Structure 1
Amino acid sequence: MLPKVSICMPTYNQEKYIAEAVDSVLMQQTDFDYELIIMEDYSTDRTREIVLEYKHKYPEKIVLLLNEENTGAESLIGFVNVFNYCRGQYLAFLDGDDYWTSPHKLQRQVDFLDGHEDFAICFHATELFCQEDDSFQPVINPPSPFRREKMTIEDLLERNFISTSAYMCRRSALGELPPWYLYLYIGDWPLFLLCAQHGYIGYIDEVMSRYRQHPAGIWSSNTNRGKLEGVIEMYQLINSHFSYRYSRIINNQLKKMYFKLMKEFLLENDLVNAKKCYHQCLKRWKYKEGLKNTRLLSRLGFRVCFPGLYKIFKASGSVKDGCN
């Protein structure tokens, strides 16, 4: 019999956390079968040894994929390999350094999707756990404007309010992933968007997972500039993939991303790339942006387009840089 749910778990050098992640899956209380597919990406610590022990204990529950070389933290090739092994009607995801907190998580989400055929995604609230000081913070995802029972792809294009550990989707809603997906820096958000084009997004207002924030995390360890560049790349590819049906929303978000990226380049004193971002932002600027934001853009534009004059005026105290 095929499992009802397939859980995808990529892991690399997570010997401190992987057991807690796997245990949080194995504690699930369900009236259906599920499988846990672990992709171990040729770790240099004890991660592989640990997942092999779990496979030995739970051979009927765990599918173990052992890479013979490291595919790289920034590569999505390994994830796609896991995805291709999934046999379940529904897919859930859990990174090897996060964990679920409710033994009823899978059952709750399956019950929701079984009862709402026009929904492609179901997710729940997630709590942030800061590993460095062992502290918990208030619910971080989703923020209050997105705690609604029913949402659409338009909502998700504005912001990624779904944590990977909270996500469940219909396997049929994803189909075959497009080739460009393999080369993205961000993996979860575009995956959610590809699925959300086929149905509504449902929300369960209960914390059932924790996102672990630590210095070695892929997203946490990246620079602000790297994060912004990754989001911009994703928006551009998604816009093309959807044949520009959502250009109004995406261009509005790109404007914000380019504005933030321009400020990052200015902090690095990289005027060439700051100017490129300024022009990208200016192309998407609307008269309704408000006087304060328009003045700030004009001031930053003056700095990147006329650096010599800007230095003279700044030395005289006539302008502020607007980057802080």
Structure 2
Amino acid sequence: MEKNKSVIKNELISVCMPAYNAEKYIREAINSILVQSYTNLELIIVNDGSTDQTLSVVKQFSDPRIKIINRENKGQCAAANLAYQHATGEYIKFMDADDIISRDFIKNQYELINGHPTWIASAQWGRFYHNDLSTFTLNPERVWKDMKPIDWLVESLQDGPNMMQCALWLIPRNILDRTGLWNEELSLINDFEFFIRVLLTAEQIKFSDKATLFYRSGMQHSLSRQKSKKALLSGYLSTKLGCASILSFENSARTREICANLYQLWHYECYPQLPIESLELKLLADNIGGSNLKFVSAGYTRVLATLLGWKRTKYIKYLLGF
């Protein structure tokens, strides 16, 4: 009975959407919000200095629930923070400008956690390629269930990097007020560091199998595909900060193992562009028990790594521009 009363409250939900050069995708993202069966929402779009027609596309929508903020380019995290500062809802969803969510996504997540200010809602997700939704397939994970946040993190990181994409989560405002916002120093894997802090502030993760994120893959210029020096520095810092948060919350054999593996992974990833940071990550892994994670490769890279070792192989590929 109490749950039914809380659902009737129908609280305002704020969707925060940073947008940079998203003219090809943002219309679909906006439409997926405006057609939600849960209608008491606002959509705050921050046009982060786009040089294409993103702003023109956004302005074509006349729905009064949309707020548009136009600003000079300062990066995705700064844009997300600015959107949050203009949000007035009791629940917050961050969403990329190329995301698509199912029609009952917000409704189903809200009903799971409404009345429980220390709970966060998660969702299922899958990929589609080349802007073709007919290619969509779900990507089932072991963490698609109700879990304690630290257990969710350990389980999801057991096999390496996990899926923490921002649109998956519905977050009570009070949790974000305690957690702090996005780290504006980060670009690559900024979700990792941010959502570790957010999840560890919550008491429970509630999973909805009736909320689906359609994750767009195969875009050549997405942040997740960048391997520039700046992007690698972001990955290095995000990994350090995220693992520090995990180990501060629970310093145990299981958390040391997953953090050592993440350090080791980015030890490989940062070489040779960031040799000092790469070495630091190796030392961090060794200091908490070490990692048995091997250098992952395929095709000719695997052949070269077998013959020359992973360092020489990565250095050669770097010199050749691969």
Q: Same fold (TM over 0.5)?
A: yes
What's the secondary structure of 1:215's corresponding residue? coil
The residue that corresponds to 1:120 in the other structure is: 119
Cα distance 1:113–1:65, how it changes in 2: closer, same or farther (>3 A)? same
Decide which moves more: 276-285 or 83-92. Answer: 276-285
Decide which moves more: 146-155 or 156-165. Answer: 156-165
The residue that corresponds to 2:17 in the other structure is: 9
Question: How does the TM-score come out when normalised to structure 1?
Answer: 0.74
- Equivalent residue in structure 1 for 2:170, among 162, 168, 171: 168
- Structure 2 CA distance for aligned equivalents of residues 239 and 258 of structure 1: 8
| Unaligned residue ranges in structure 1 (runs of 5+) | 298-313
What displacement does 1:265 show?
A: 5.7
What's the % identity of the aligned pairs?
Answer: 22
Instruction: Trace 1:73-222 onto structure 2 (pairs within 5 A).
Output: 73=76, 76-100=77-101, 102-114=102-114, 117=116, 119-131=118-130, 136-140=135-139, 143-156=140-153, 159=157, 160-175=162-177, 178=180, 181-185=183-187, 186-196=189-199, 197-206=201-210, 208-213=212-217, 214-219=219-224, 221-222=225-226
- Structure of greater Rg: 1
The residue that corresponds to 2:55 in the other structure is: 48
- Structure 2 CA distance for aligned equivalents of residues 45 and 154 of structure 1: 42
- C-alpha offsets along residues 79-113 of structure 1, whole Å, 9 cap, x if unaligned? 1111111111111122111111x221111111111
| Unaligned residue ranges in structure 2 (runs of 5+) | 1-8, 296-303, 314-322
What's the secondary structure of 2:213's corresponding residue? strand
Measured on the aligned residues, the alpha-carbon RMSD in Å equals: 3.5
Cα distance 1:244–1:24, how it changes in 2: closer, same or farther (>3 A)? same
What displacement does 1:209 show?
A: 2.0
Q: Give aligned pairs, total.
A: 286
Letter in 2 for 1:198: A
What displacement does 1:164 show?
A: 1.9
The residue that corresponds to 1:72 in the other structure is: 75
What's the secondary structure of 2:15's corresponding residue? strand
Letter in 2 for 1:110: Y
Letter in 1 for 2:95: L
- Structure 1 CA distance for aligned equivalents of residues 13 and 274 of structure 2: 48
- Structure 2 CA distance for aligned equivalents of residues 113 and 269 of structure 1: 44
Letter in 1 for 2:207: Y
Cα distance 1:90–1:12, how it changes in 2: closer, same or farther (>3 A)? same
Does the Cα contact within 8 Å between 2:106 and 2:211 map onto a contact in 1?
no
- Structure 1 CA distance for aligned equivalents of residues 127 and 310 of structure 2: 31
Does the Cα contact within 8 Å between 1:91 and 1:170 map onto a contact in 2?
yes
- Structure 1 CA distance for aligned equivalents of residues 194 and 264 of structure 2: 25
- C-alpha offsets along residues 290-315 of structure 1, whole Å, 9 cap, x if unaligned? xxx49x79xxxxxxxxxxxxxxxx9x
- C-alpha offsets along residues 227-264 of structure 1, whole Å, 9 cap, x if unaligned? 77544422433455678233445543332133233434
- Structure 2 CA distance for aligned equivalents of residues 270 and 172 of structure 1: 38
Decide which moves more: 249-258 or 168-177. Answer: 249-258
